[in-house]
Structure 1
Amino acid sequence: MRLHPIPAAFAPLLFLLPSCVGAPDQAQRPAPRQVPPRAAPAPAPASAPAPLEWQYRPATPGNWTYRQEGQGSAALFTSPAAGPLLTLRCDPAAGRISLLRAGAGQAAMTLRTSYGAVNWPAAASPSGTIATRAASDAALDQIAYSRGRFAVEVQGLDTLIIPAWAEVGRVIEDCRR
């Protein structure tokens, strides 16, 4: 195919060619559609906030103390307002450690650590709810080495979020000697 050059005399007319097209017909355009204003969306129903995982809850106020008792030792977590909330007591003759949670609760104690959760059978005592374990129980190490805190849950009582201080490990080690 061969292209023919346009003679120079026709070149100015090429610029006028687009001006020959007429204006668009206004009658052919559809009128813009009117959209009614939308109503504001209904507010979402208020729902209860999702419960926080135990490790994100604030710690129970209080401090640990350690003391020697006869042949064994004890660590007490005490609240300034409520007195002793949790006591770890070593009975070296029996090779057992007891956890005493202040308050009467149901027959199970759940301990939550950064390693997981364990359920221990518990019983009512005159001073609270008590669970007793062998001093060699690996869950005791999990309590002592939990990342900064552990939780003690007894059905019917508030959950305690307790700092994992050295006093806990000290009682456990006293009982393993």
Structure 2
Amino acid sequence: MRNISKSRRLSPAIPLLLLAIAACSPAPPEPAPAPQPTKPVAIAPPATEPVQPKGDWIDWPITPGEWVYRKDSRGSLALFGEAGRDAVFIIRCDQSDRQLFLSRSGSVGDQAKMVLRASAGLQTYSAANSGGTPNYAAISVAPRDIMMDRIAYSRGRFAVETTGLLSLAIPAWPEFSRVVEDCRN
């Protein structure tokens, strides 16, 4: 019986002991503030300014894009460039004038020249702004101009160099020749 009475005497001391221990422990830490949502920062890719190709034109990187052939009320045309963007180079046959117009994106000043290069040679032409929007520098040639055949038979590419504009290395695909043939017939 004595054991029972002893345990009854200690019982009230246990809660006091627990209270004393709790008083000695540090207060619980404050909860950390909720993280604030951050706005995503758009990191722009490094701007790569187009650079004028150097060295032999046959070694220049090909200008990005593909050819597309079309017919319209004036004749036929082939456009070269990247999908969803304005063409960087156009050849058009104006059937009524029996004339070819070769245009490249950009505008030029007075007395500008356009040089067409192919595996079998080159030819220089006077270039002028076409007056449209967007701006194109253009030349006009006869359908039987020897340079059209040189481009048609060039080894995989031809080059377009225009005063004040970046030079282009364009693949010599059949679309170019098709427009030339349309104008000759």
Q: TM-score, normalised by structure 2?
A: 0.65
Write out aligned runs for 1:12-161 (5 A).
51-80=54-83, 82-106=85-109, 107-126=112-131, 127-161=135-169
* Cα contact 1:97–1:132 (8 A) shared by 2: yes
Q: Distance in 1 between matches of 2:108 and 2:117?
A: 17
Partner-residue secondary structure (3-state), 2:180: helix
TM-fit CA distance, 1:83: 2.3
- Matches of 2:84 and 2:57 in 1, distance apart? 22
3-state SS, counterpart of residue 103 of structure 2: strand
Q: Separation in 2 of the partners of 1:66 and 1:81?
A: 15
| Corresponding position of 2:19 | none
Take 2:156 and 2:136, find their aligned partners in 1: how far apart are those partners? Answer: 25
- Structure 2: give runs of 5+ residues left out of the alignment: 1-53
Shift of 1:105: 2.2
Is this contact kept in 2: 1:92–1:176, CA < 8 A?
no
Q: Deviations over 1:83-124 (max 9, x none)?
A: 210000001221110001110124210001001110011111
SS in structure 1 at match of 2:175: helix
- For normalisation by structure 1, the TM-score amounts to 0.68
Give the Cα–Cα distance (whole angstroms) in 2 for the partners of residues 105 and 113 of structure 1: 22
Find the counterpart in structure 2 of residue 167 from structure 1. Answer: 175
Q: State the AA in 1 paired with 2:156.
A: G
Q: Is the 8 A contact 1:112 1:150 kept in 2?
A: yes
Could you tell me which runs of 5 or more consecutive residues in structure 1 were left unpaired when the two chains were aligned. 1-50
Identity rate, percent: 44
**Any idea what the Cα deviations from partners look like across 1:118-171, whole Å, max 9, x if unmatched?**
001111122310100111111111111111000001011110100000000000
Q: Secondary structure at the match of 1:101?
A: strand
> Partner residue of 2:4?
none
- Which SS does the other structure have where 1:84 is aligned? coil
Distance in 2 separating the partners of 1:170 and 1:74: 9
Moved more, 158-167 or 134-143: 134-143
- Name the SS of the counterpart of 1:147 in structure 2: coil
Number of matched residues? 127
Moved more, 142-151 or 105-114: 105-114
Cα separation, 2, equivalents of 1:145 and 1:129:
24
